């Protein structure tokens, strides 16, 4: 929740996340949903942790497309105190390279990077 305001500015309009009153229980349910999606190979989420694996530094999401024009929708973020740092710059370079080299997508969309979330919201939804 330490980065909630900035994360809401990124994901709030699209997904309503993270809510201002998000509790531990709500977060646990969200993580359980992600685990089911991963198990079913519907979407994939990766946590970026510190060296001791005690602190979350960011996340990467690889999701099926909700809008026309892509075969995957990829987004990522770092916690507030890592914005503008080498870690964020590394993520911005590494994630697209990793997707291109390790995944079989033909048209991945990097939301928040190759188009804004507002532009993404204007794209036609898949039915």
**Where in the sequence is the domain holding 67, given as residue range(s)?**
4-122
Helix or strand run (H / E) with residue 101: helix 86-102
Lowest mean pLDDT across 17-21, 39-43, 52-56, 106-110: 17-21
| C-alpha of 54 from chain center | 20
Residue 39 falls within a domain, yes or no? yes
Q: How far, CA to CA in Å, does 24 sit from each of 30, 36, 76?
A: 10, 18, 21
- Cβ distance 79 to 49 under 8 Å? no
pLDDT at position 40: 86
CA separation for the pair 17, 11 (Å, rounded): 6
Residue 127 falls within a domain, yes or no? no
CA separation for the pair 77, 60 (Å, rounded): 7
Report the CATH number that the domain containing residue 108 is assigned in CATH. Answer: 3.40.630
The sign of the CA dihedral 13, 16, 17, 20 is positive
Number of domains in the chain: 1
Residue 88 falls within a domain, yes or no? yes
The CB-side HSE value for 80 (13 A sphere, CA atoms) comes to 9
pLDDT at position 68: 96
pLDDT at position 85: 97
Residue 60 falls within a domain, yes or no? yes
Q: Which two tokens stand for residue 56?
A: 């979350």
Residue 77 falls within a domain, yes or no? yes
Whole-structure pTM value: 0.86
């Amino acid at each position: 929740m330490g980065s909630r305001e900035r994360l809401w500015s990124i994901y709030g309009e699209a997904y309503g996340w993270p809510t201002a009153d998000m509790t531990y229980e709500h977060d646990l349910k969200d993580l359980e949903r992600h685990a089911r999606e991963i198990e079913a190979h519907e979407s994939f989420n990766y946590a970026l942790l510190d060296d001791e694996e005690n602190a979350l530094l960011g996340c990467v999401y690889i999701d099926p497309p909700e809008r026309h024009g892509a075969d995957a929708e990829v987004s990522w973020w770092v916690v507030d105190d890592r914005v503008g740092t080498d870690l964020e710059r590394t993520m911005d370079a590494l994630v697209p390279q990793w997707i291109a080299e390790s995944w079989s997508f033909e048209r991945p969309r990097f939301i928040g990077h190759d188009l804004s979330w507002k532009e993404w919201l204007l794209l036609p939804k898949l039915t």
